[in-house]
Amino acid sequence: MSTQKPVRRITAPQITRRKGGDPIVSLTSYHAHTAAIVDKYADFILVGDSLGMVMHGMESTVGVSLELMIMHGKAVVRGTSRALVVVDMPFGTYEESPSVAFRNAARVMKETQCGAVKLEGGARMAETIRFLSERGIPVMAHIGLTPQSVNVMGGFKTQGRDEDSWTSHEEDARAVAEAGAFALVLEGMVEPLAARITKQIAIPTIGIGASAECDGQILVLEDMLGLNPTPPKFVKVYGNLGGQIEAAVKAYSEEVKDRSFPGESEVYR
């Protein structure tokens, strides 16, 4: 009989308690096999609506549906046992009202068995964050460059270049923290502003293009593995899987054409 203790998933409150401590590690994942690898090293895994662009070739995240998020969320949860799994709420599923947001977030939690959801927006979403948190749904907030607002922003633009805008970003951060968010993603934000926000609020900040001053970091897995030929400036590329995959496909193509594949070791006799 095994005496090994079962692995317990990291929870949203545990992430909150990491504020000011060891940096929080996170990556995105959209399918079971990569999630199983990331699970060994990440504190939380984000099933980001970036999957619309990364996996489905969309120009932005705006076209991602709730059903698509649930499908990928299920896959990531199946492939993991340790990391907290956070699923993005896609555009149009939470902005209308707190009650609509709760209905959709509850569906995501129930159908995927994830541990939390993430939604974009600062002070304007504080009421919704409070409504969800009080009803048992842990919420990760997201401010700065918010991709779902790309059509309003006029593109993917770095936030905080104009120091006059810092006050509104700081107010957003305080509002979501006070509303009950357990952590806050800061995306595409200048370093001094990200540092100020990190010092001002009691919940961890998770940076993506917001400097090492944050309490943790997240990147899109495919970006850091070298599968995106034009990654954003803030991405450090840790692998060259794009080149390796192309080389492997090219070698396979050549062997099929010259009939050296399948060879003796790949044939049933």
Annotated binding site: 49-50, 88, 118, 120
DSSP 89-144: PPTTSSSS-HHHHHHHHHHHHHHH--SEEEEEBSGGGHHHHHHHHHTT--EEEEEE
CA distance 118 to 101: 11
Instruction: Name the catalytic one among 67, 187, 213, 222.
Output: 187
Q: Is 254 an annotated catalytic residue?
A: no
Residues of the binding site for 3-methyl-2-oxobutanoate: 49-50, 88, 118
* CA-CA-CA-CA torsion sign (36, 38, 43, 48): negative
E strands in the chain: 24-28, 44-47, 84-88, 116-120, 139-144, 183-187, 205-208, 216-219
Which residues are 87's β-sheet partners?
Answer: 47, 117
The backbone torsions φ and ψ at residue 25, rounded to the nearest 5 degrees and listed phi first, read: -105, 130
Record the tokens describing residue 102, joined without a space. Answer: 């709760």
Residues of the binding site for Mg(2+): 49, 88, 120
CA distance 90 to 30: 14
User: Residue 8: which of 105, 90, 80 has the closest Cα?
Assistant: 80
Count other Cβ atoms within 10 Å, centred on residue 242: 15
Residues marked as catalytic: 187
